[in-house]
Amino acid sequence: MKYLYQDTYWERKNGPIFFYTGNEGSIESFCKNTGFMWEIAEEFGALIVFAEHRYYGESMPYGSGSYDDNDKLGYLTSEQALADYVDLITYLRRNGTEQHRRTVGGAGNVNVTDDTFANPAIAFGGSYGGMLAAWFRIKYPAIVQGSIASSAPIWQFTGMTSCNAFYNVTSSVYMKTSTECGLTILKSWSTIDSATETAHGRDLISLRWKLCSPLKNDDDVLKLKEWISEVYVNLAMVNYPYSANFLAPLPGNPVKELCKPMKNHNEQTFKLLDSVFNGLNVYFNYTGTSTCLNISSSTPSLDAKGWGYQACTEMVMPMCSNGKDDIFENKPWNFEDYAKYCQKTYKVQPSVDIIEKIYGGKHIKDSSNIIFSNGLLDPWSSGGVLYNITKTVTAVIIPESAHHLDLRAANVKDPESVVKARKFYKHRIKKWISHYRKYSLRDQVDTFSA
């Protein structure tokens, strides 16, 4: 298991551990895009830790053979990842960091017999990492004292959220940015279909869109449309007000940029498709270095393979669109078809309710110290917690924010709402820590020194 840390500001005796619950990708990517933790660490005397999720990045339980078969891959679950995080936090509490030990000796000069629990831990996470941060507190309240769960769609599961909610939100982002843009996208699906009916048409599109592999048949066309659809979703997710590089290197307000060429949905077939291609250019070729459009992956910085497996076991998130309430093609959700796909691809049977059983679904009022933050520009807000559950399990709505903008470093272009949100997090984290120091450690008075 790989983890990154920064202990410059850590007060070893009882300073908090700010712990990023890594999600589906190399930990470096999250480390670079979660500036908020770095900015507040000094004030809190905190240790910063970014923990890599098992089966991603370099954290391979069985080395290069980790994905070989389900006997090995079966240990890729959210519960196992959380158990790893429990081990790591416990280890750091007892032993300190290697860097610190090297400087001051022992366990970083702290008597660990009494003080194993002296360092409060605060979990941070965005997206699936945010789900993990929330679930971490829900399942291990003795290990983690509070969680900032940003853009965490913990309700994007069967029976909790309507399957069309996700594409509804995505569509509204485009429609609000530019109605013409939204309508162009909506129209583009059938336009692509008709343009690629013949071999000649497929060649023409392959050429005009500079595809790395030309479209050969209907399957390729389907893949192209799926890739485009994912790009729209991803762009909405990282629709930050300034230039950033999370899923891909992008300009500020990328949805607006993408929409610029998509001005008229009444254009003829190839003119309309040219405008779409010009828009997509923003996503796949903002740096101007791509020589052709590669539709094999839409999120190069995340590991699609591991997540595909997780989505086919625990993380079954029903999604559907209909082209009426949204700007996407008509695609109903069909669990049986999905199960067949999972059987074929990973030889596993997806579970519709294991997440609800394990983590409580909508019944989380007995938990505490969690902030669920959601940006209303973020497609994933559809499955997020958008209202306060209790006084300490609270929702923060950031109207102008996309996917976990709040966890990123401060930027002059940040909307006021995200600045306020971050202040609120700091306030709450202080409360959690002082409450922990005041009440929880009292238990230790009664412990024996056996």
Task: Select 96 or 120, whichever has its Cβ closest to its own copies.
Answer: 120
Catalytic residue among 84, 303, 326, 378: 378
Question: Rule CB under 8 A: is residue 443 a binding residue for its own copies?
Answer: yes
- Write out the binding residues for its own copies, residues 387-406 only, by CB under 8 A: 387
Per-residue tokens: 6? 């920064």
Question: Rule CB under 8 A: is residue 444 a binding residue for its own copies?
Answer: yes
Task: Select 25 or 384, whichever has its Cβ closest to its own copies.
Answer: 384
Question: Rule CB under 8 A: is residue 447 a binding residue for its own copies?
Answer: yes
Q: What's the CA gap between 220 and 206, in Å, rounded?
A: 11
Question: Rule CB under 8 A: is residue 362 a binding residue for its own copies?
Answer: yes
All residues at 6 or more sequence positions from 401 whose CB lies less than 8 Å from its CB, including other chains: 374, 375, 376, 377, 378, 415, 417, 418, 421
417 three-class SS = helix
Question: Rule CB under 8 A: is residue 61 a binding residue for its own copies?
Answer: no
Which residue in the set 347, 363, 423, 431 belongs to the binding site for its own copies (CB under 8 A)?
Answer: 363
All residues at 6 or more sequence positions from 118 whose CB lies less than 8 Å from its CB, including other chains: 13, 14, 93, 110, 441
Helix (H) or strand (E) holding 147: strand 146-150
Question: Rule CB under 8 A: is residue 440 a binding residue for its own copies?
Answer: yes
Q: Which span (28-36, 298-306, 336-344, 365-373) binds its own copies, by CB under 8 A?
A: 365-373
Neighbours of 444 (CB within 10 A): 12
Which residue in the set 365, 420, 430, 431 belongs to the binding site for its own copies (CB under 8 A)?
Answer: 365
Mark residues 157-196: x for contact with its own copies by CB under 8 A, - for none. Answer: -xxxxxx-x-------------------------------
Which residue in the set 361, 395, 411, 426 belongs to the binding site for its own copies (CB under 8 A)?
Answer: 361
User: Measured on CA atoms in the order 201, 202, 207, 208, is the torsion positive or negative?
Assistant: positive
* Integer angstrom CA distances of residue 77 from 56, 132, 310, 331, 387: 12, 11, 7, 28, 28
Per-residue tokens: 327? 């700007």
Question: Rule CB under 8 A: is residue 131 a binding residue for its own copies?
Answer: no
Q: What's the CA gap between 58 and 125, in Å, rounded?
A: 19
Which residue in the set 57, 318, 350, 375 belongs to the binding site for its own copies (CB under 8 A)?
Answer: 318
Question: Rule CB under 8 A: is residue 450 a binding residue for its own copies?
Answer: yes
Catalytic residue among 303, 403, 404, 406: 403
Whether residue 380 contacts residue 166, with contact meaning beta carbons closer than 8 Å, is answered with: yes
Q: What's the CA gap between 440 and 429, in Å, rounded?
A: 15
Q: How far is the CB of 419 from its own copies (least distance, A)?
A: 29
Distance of alpha carbon 414 from the chain centroid: 20
Which residue in the set 118, 134, 143, 418 belongs to the binding site for its own copies (CB under 8 A)?
Answer: 143
- Active-site residue, 403 included: yes
Catalytic residue among 127, 150, 171, 368: 127
Question: Rule CB under 8 A: is residue 364 a binding residue for its own copies?
Answer: yes
Q: Which of 155, 149, 157 is nearest to 132 (CA)?
A: 149
Q: How far is the CB of 324 from its own copies (least distance, A)?
A: 17
Count, residues near its own copies per rule CB under 8 A: 42
Q: Which span (84-92, 181-189, 205-213, 262-270) binds its own copies, by CB under 8 A?
A: 84-92
Q: How far is the CB of 55 from its own copies (least distance, A)?
A: 20
Question: Rule CB under 8 A: is residue 87 a binding residue for its own copies?
Answer: yes
Q: Give me the DSSP letters along 225-283.
A: HHHHHHHHHHHHHT--SS-EESSSEE-SSHHHHHHTT---TTS-HHHHHHHHHHHHHHH
Q: What's the CA gap between 134 and 130, in Å, rounded?
A: 6
DSSP 8-state assignment for residue 25:
B
Q: Which span (6-14, 49-57, 141-149, 194-202) binds its own copies, by CB under 8 A?
A: 141-149
Which residue in the set 119, 367, 374, 381 belongs to the binding site for its own copies (CB under 8 A)?
Answer: 367
Q: Which span (179-187, 279-287, 354-362, 423-431) binds its own copies, by CB under 8 A?
A: 354-362
Whether residue 365 contacts residue 390, with contact meaning beta carbons closer than 8 Å, is answered with: yes
Whether residue 119 contacts residue 17, with contact meaning beta carbons closer than 8 Å, is answered with: yes
Which residue in the set 344, 357, 391, 438 belongs to the binding site for its own copies (CB under 8 A)?
Answer: 357
Q: What are the residues binding its own copies (CB under 8 A)?
A: 86-87, 90, 116-117, 139-143, 158-163, 165, 318, 353, 356-369, 387, 439-440, 443-444, 446-448, 450
Catalytic residues: 127, 378, 403
